[in-house]
Amino acid sequence: MELGGFVWRGLVLSLMLLVLVGPCSVFSQCQKISSCSCRLPNAGIIDLTPIGSGNPLYKDLKATQFPDDFLYSWNPCKDFTETDACKGVAACQKSTDGQTSYSLGDQGSATFGGDNKSVTVSYTGPSPDNRQSQVTLTCSSGATQFTVLGEDQTVSLYKFELKSPCACPGAGSGCAGGAISGGSILLIVCTVLLVGYIVGGILFMSFVKKASGTDRIPNKEFWKDLPTLVKDGAVFAVSPLRGKGKQYDNI
């Protein structure tokens, strides 16, 4: 009887753990939205679209962690064609002499794994090779960097790493550096103000002051003297460095 009660309590405890922990382990994974985006619950969406695509974007790179005699290419979001064996692929492995190549999977085979700490996107190539590749998406600041790690033979997996602000959950469309910087915004504002000052000043001088010709230029005398003022200021600033400053008598 005691043994039966112990087994029963064990079953109940197991079911409780499954109910409580199971959903967390499932829903904490990055859920696929497209071949280059996934959603992390309670964290946000990881979207590689702003990085862009090329033909491919990262082409013929050497492995760094597991060196070999191959070159590797990868393109986020869109398939590319590089060789006869690498037609419509997301990742390609090619010998340095270009004679041999293998598909490492296409965008249609993309699957996401990992959790809030580490997210990966994996691809599977066609049979009979069925070569698998995996890109670790590392959230970082600064410029986007793509690194080929190479084939980890212990798990038969070709590994890559993408470090980018776009690999951060919830990153905006400007994560790849395309957003307008603060300096650019300041320059735009200053340009708009300057144009507004000139156009508004001319209209004011023309219709309110009834000026004509060059007299319509707002603060005409200031702008006329500005080159001389700039020159005098430059000479004043540089003259001590040249030792040509004015000499004054002691009092």
* Tens digits of residue pLDDT in 103-142: 999 999 999 998 777 899 999 999 999 999 999 999 999 8
Q: Tens-of-pLDDT digits for all 251 residues of the chain?
A: 454 554 445 444 444 444 344 433 334 689 999 999 999 988 899 999 999 888 999 999 999 999 999 999 999 999 999 999 999 999 999 999 999 999 999 999 999 998 777 899 999 999 999 999 999 999 999 899 999 999 999 888 999 999 999 999 999 888 987 445 556 577 788 888 889 988 998 888 888 888 888 888 888 788 888 898 888 888 888 877 776 555 555 66
Which residue, 206, 93, 226, is CA-closest to 150? 93
Q: What is the pLDDT of residues 217-244, one digit of tens each?
A: 888 788 888 898 888 888 888 877 776 5
pTM reported for the whole predicted model: 0.62
DSSP secondary structure letters along 95-162:
ETTSS-EEE---GGG-EEEE-SS-EEEEEEPPTTT--EEEEEEEE-SSS-EEEEEEEETTTTEEEEEE
